[in-house]
Chains A and B, each alone.
Chain A
Amino acid sequence: MMEANKTRNLFLSLTALAVVGVFLWWAPSHLDGYKIQILNLIAIYSILGLSLNLIYGITGMFSLGTAGFMCIGAYVSSMLILPQMQKDMIFILEPLHPLLYAAHAPFVVAVLAGGVVAALAGLLIGIPVLKLGGDYLGIATLGFAEIIRVVANNIPTITNGALGLKGIPPYANLWWNYGWTFFTLYVMYRLVNSNFGNALKAIRDDELAAKAMGIDTSRYRVISFTIGAFFAGIGGALMASLLTTIDPKMFMVTMTYNVLMVVVAGGLGSLAGSVIGATIVTILLEWLRIVENPISIGSLHIPGIPGMRMVIFAISLILIIIYRPDGVMGNREFTWNGLLRSGKGGKSNG
């Protein structure tokens, strides 16, 4: 019975993967650029959401450093894929450091490098900062992200300062983005469902008791934070190539806020929740652009208010926290068994 379920579930998973594959193959020739862009953003926000979910949802460390790690990943990877001709064109005020001028790598390597450097940064600040708990950790990581941004703004021979980088090759298509999303999802799934993952959840639930179980909690926290930083770096690297332009202003706290929204809306501690949250948040962010345009209802003319969309966004986050603090999925996980069971009694996934 159990074995039969296993085979069936594997079959269903592979089918689902194939369906996504066919869709990705079909999409570019049938959907317009705007919709493709949204699909790409969903993939990247999924990666970012999963990254923060490991740190915050699974291990219980309230971190606001996502934008900082993204910034590192984005700059490192972009520097490796920018053609030299483009580098000549961008760095007009100050010359680029010759070492970076010569640096070049294929896209996969560049994205990985972005992740690795972000992970190193995570390791370095994690060791001192993770001794803090709760809100203090949030403030410290927020400060770290701001420092990264300010530094990026002030080392023009490396980052081109406030002008940012332009003309980054747009390699990050649907295949790359969804490929990385599945990779992230797989790694997270294996980690969270191993006994290592159990130990992380133990730290979240009761750190004192986890210590009594012989778990070196500070070490586990640093590992979890570093893995999270790695994937945030990957997300940043992909986003840079998708948008083809980056500058330090892009990595302000609002970016972290979007990712936090993904995790909270989807459900803290649920991997499937992060993907669902990424879908909801990305679509909502685009759809809400309507409220920033001038609207006419009959003779009533409402002028467009820039920034209105963030106001509505913030209100919806508050509403979620009040009325559905567990997000869409709570800390439950998506399983085929669960889906089939609920399918018999009508669809109830909420």
Chain B
Amino acid sequence: MADRPVILDAANLTMRFGGVTAVSDFSMAIQENRIVGLIGPNGAGKTTSFNMITGYYRPTEGKVSFLGNDITGMAPYKVCRMGIARTFQNIRLFKNETVLQNVMIGSQRRQKSRWWQAPLNLPSFNKEEREVREKAMELLERVDLHKVADERSESLPYGQQRRLEIARALATEPRFLLLDEPAAGMNPEESHVLMGFIRRLRDEFNLTILLIEHDMKVVMGVCEHIWVLDYGKLIAQGNPKEIQGNPKVIEAYLGEEYLADA
């Protein structure tokens, strides 16, 4: 694989909570327009790493830079404005709002008109509101959720909720998308569809995608490069083939005995 410019560079990230070190000295450089994965057993520090990149945690040590800008410990909403969007492990939709509204909220940050223009009923304000609505509708059509645009987001089936969460993240017009366990709770068929969906997103929206996932079929199927964390430490990285054959990874997932038997 030819090298591409690095879009996100996390260097020597360490996160300590009191006496517990959740992530220690973890570095990863992600190249533009790739789909890459972060895997590891439960409690390995994957989501903690996500939170450090997106500004929810300020790393105890280390530095995160995105497109050459230092974004270490920047407030989450600013990180989003830099062009990084994310989904959450346990779906966090705005449950009382409709599907369309959920996506519109993602466009809010790019809206030029201010709140006080709303009561004035200015044509420019109304025009922008209409454009935001149309753009959201367009986005919903692209992810095939336009038929349920006026449903309350909470009432959607699980798979569609996941897709809506991704659509909402796309509405912020990111260049880098972090997906936290997008296949969780999906059956094999659904996760197969998801793999195609993730690839399509990358190509159509010109994205770089980092995903955390437990479903190995999905990880091995879509990721071009994989980092493996165990007890907060990086134990391996490489392409899917290298990871599958790496004894350290097998040990972390299956235990030492399995390796001895094999």
Contacts and interface: CB of A to CB of B under 8 A. Distances in A.
B97 A190 contact: no
Given A213-B109, A213-B168, A208 B119 contact: no
B259 interface: no
Interface string B162-193: 00000011011000000000000000000000
A215 B104 contact: no
A211 B80 contact: yes
Contacts of A269: 96
Interface in A212-245: 212-217, 223
Interface in B43-80: 54, 56, 75-77, 80
Contact of B96 (A199, A205, A211): A205
Interface of A: 186-187, 190-191, 194-199, 201-202, 204-206, 208-217, 223, 269, 331
Given A190-B118, A212-B76, A213-B172, A198 B101 contact: yes
Contacts of A198: 97, 101, 104-105, 108
Interface in B103-122: 104-109, 111, 115, 118-119, 121
Contacts of B97: 198, 201-202, 205
Interface of B: 54, 56, 75-77, 80-81, 85-86, 88, 92-97, 101, 104-109, 111, 115, 118-119, 121, 125, 129, 132, 168-169, 171-172
A331 B97 CA distance: 11
Give the residue among A196, A208, A209, A213 with the most B Cβ atoms within 10 A. Answer: A213
B94 A191 contact: no
A195 B80 contact: no
Contacts of A204: 96
A206 B88 CA distance: 12
A208 B51 CA distance: 11
Interface centre among A194, A197, A204, A215 (most CB of B within 10 A): A194
Given A187-B119, A198-B97, A214 B109 contact: yes
Contacts of A190: 118-119, 121
A202 B153 CA distance: 12
Contacts, number: 97
A205 B115 contact: no
A199 B93 contact: no
Given A201-B94, A205-B94, A211 B77 contact: yes
11 contacts: A187-B119, A194-B129, A196-B118, A199-B108, A202-B94, A208-B56, A212-B76, A212-B86, A213-B109, A217-B77, A269-B96
A206 B92 CA distance: 7
Identify the interface centre among A198, A208, A210, A216: most chain B CB within 10 Å of its CB.
Answer: A198
Given A196-B118, A201-B97, 13 more contacts: A186-B119, A195-B107, A195-B111, A195-B132, A205-B96, A206-B93, A206-B94, A206-B95, A211-B75, A212-B76, A213-B106, A214-B81, A223-B115
Contacts of B94: 201-202, 205-206, 209-210
A209 B101 contact: no
A205 B104 CA distance: 15
Nearest to B83: A214
Contact of A191 (B96, B115, B169): B115
Contacts of A209: 88, 92-94
Nearest to A203: B94
Given A194-B129, A206-B92, A215 B109 contact: yes
A9 to B, nearest CB: 16
A196 B118 CA distance: 8
Nearest to B80: A214
A191 B77 contact: no
B115 A194 contact: yes
A201 B77 CA distance: 16
B54 A212 contact: yes
Given A190-B121, A205-B94, A196 B115 contact: yes
A190 B113 CA distance: 13
Contacts of A202: 94, 97, 105
Contacts of A216: 75, 77
Contact of B80 (A187, A213, A223): A213
A216 B76 CA distance: 9
Nearest to B132: A195
Contacts of B93: 205-206, 209
B89 to A, nearest CB: 12
A205 B154 CA distance: 11
Contacts of A217: 77
Contacts of B115: 191, 194, 196, 223
Contacts of A223: 115
B118 A199 contact: no
A250 B75 CA distance: 43
B184 to A, nearest CB: 17
B77 A194 contact: no
Contacts of B101: 198, 201
